[in-house]
Amino acid sequence: MKQNLEIQIENIAKQAQAASRALAVLSSTVKNTVLKDMAIALLGNQAIILKANQKDISKSHGENKAFIDRLSLNAARIKQMADSLLAIAKLKDPVGEVIRAWNTVSGLSIHKARTPIGVIAIIYESRPNVTSDCIGLGFKSGNSVILRGGSQALNSNLAIFNVLNQVLQKHHLAEGAINLIATANRKAVDYLLKLNNYIDLVIPRGGEELIKKVVRASAIPVIKHYKGICHVYVDEAADLNMAQNICFNAKCQRPGVCNAMESMLVHRDVAARFLPGMLKKFRESKVEIRGCAFTRKIASWAKRATARDYRTEYSDLILSVKVVEDLDAAIAHINEYGSHHSDSIVTDNNFAAGKFLKQVDSACVYLNASTRFTDGNQFGMGAEIGISTDKLHARGPMGLEELTTYKYMVYGSGQVRP
């Protein structure tokens, strides 16, 4: 016999499926108007959202600074959320776009066109801005969404959801277009992941354990956003001042996010010139260094790095450092220890740059830029629903196009197959 919570979750999924059919045919004009009204509503209800956020923060004693940073909202961050919704409104609507069209010898006209995926469940942890980003992207791409945020951000998520859902109600749009599972009960996720009759895709955002749990339990296809073990490799032909700025930004600008640098690799021929100043700057910023033998000769205060360190997403002011023999060794290290998320090379050598960009097997590869740019907003997508480290169906920041699939619309004039 089904429990009350299980019935509630199933009803949410059924309602979302029904709403998705209405959203799929909603005009771009209506969607853009609603998104603009959502942005206005976020700013107009800022005090309510911040009060709810303070409740969540007050319950998070003992958590590290990176966690509190991910959880915290302020006026600037709410404005960023509103700006993201406005940016999504300005983007071209992908629904109905003809990717390719051709005629066959039988006289059929075939159009390959983008269409919404349907119902998308997003399971995430302690970043309340994800709530508005996912609602905005899901709505514009014609998908209904079911959101299940972490219990630590429950009050914040609920406040944001209520504000945005009131906008949908004002426009008399289908109930169930956006949904929030407002319970800390972990069984809710277990029930949700069984509902493959109603939900088309699951996107987990958060730590590795969360993602592994979702993959194990889900009867629904999952696009994974595994851990972000991001590297910056300082090549022998690097501009060392540029390299220092890039590495510092990649590690320290916001260390608790998935596109922050977790491991810095340095070519042996520039290590003696580059590392003393770079490590001094990190130490002044309270970055704990875990280094190879060469690194520890330069910085005796650094801890010894282990193979486990090179596979760890710290999400904190901790950095592993390794001096490598050459470009090939750097590429091999990244492909073995990385998480296929975001990796960068700093070099003025075009050959080295091309080889790195082609051979490093990651969703985003950079030349002379910080890994911190792996972000849907920074990529011009308005926001992102996640950063996929999978290779199918989407890879990297997932924006509007990545939230569509396609179908073939075939136009005939009475043809039958001989």
Phi/psi-derived region of residue 234, left when phi > 0, alpha when psi is between -120 and 50, beta in every other case:
beta
pLDDT of 263 higher than 80: yes
Domain layout of the chain by residue ranges = 4-223+398-411, 230-373
**pLDDT band per the 50, 70, 90 thresholds, residue 204:** very high
pLDDT in tens, 271-304: 999 999 999 999 999 999 999 999 999 999 999 9
pLDDT of 2 higher than 80: no
pLDDT in tens, 136-152: 999 999 999 999 999 99
pLDDT score for 1: 62
pLDDT of 347 higher than 90: yes
Q: What is the CATH code for 230-373? A: 3.40.309.10
Query: What is the Cα–Cα distance from 219 to 55, expressed in whole angstroms?
Result: 35
Edge-to-edge strands, sheet with 342-346: 303-304, 288-291, 318-324, 261-267, 230-234, 342-346, 364-367
Which range has the worst mean pLDDT, 81-85, 206-210, 277-281? 206-210
216 Cβ contact partners less than 8 Å away, ≥ 6 residues apart:
none
pLDDT of 128 higher than 80: yes
The chain-wide mean pLDDT, for the chain, equals 96
Domains 4-223+398-411 and 230-373 belong to one CATH topology: no
pLDDT score for 227: 86
pLDDT score for 191: 97
pLDDT of 254 higher than 80: yes
At 140, phi and psi to the nearest 5? -65, -35
- Domain 4-223+398-411 is classified in which CATH homologous superfamily? Aldehyde Dehydrogenase; Chain A, domain 1 (3.40.605.10)
**pTM, two decimal places:** 0.90
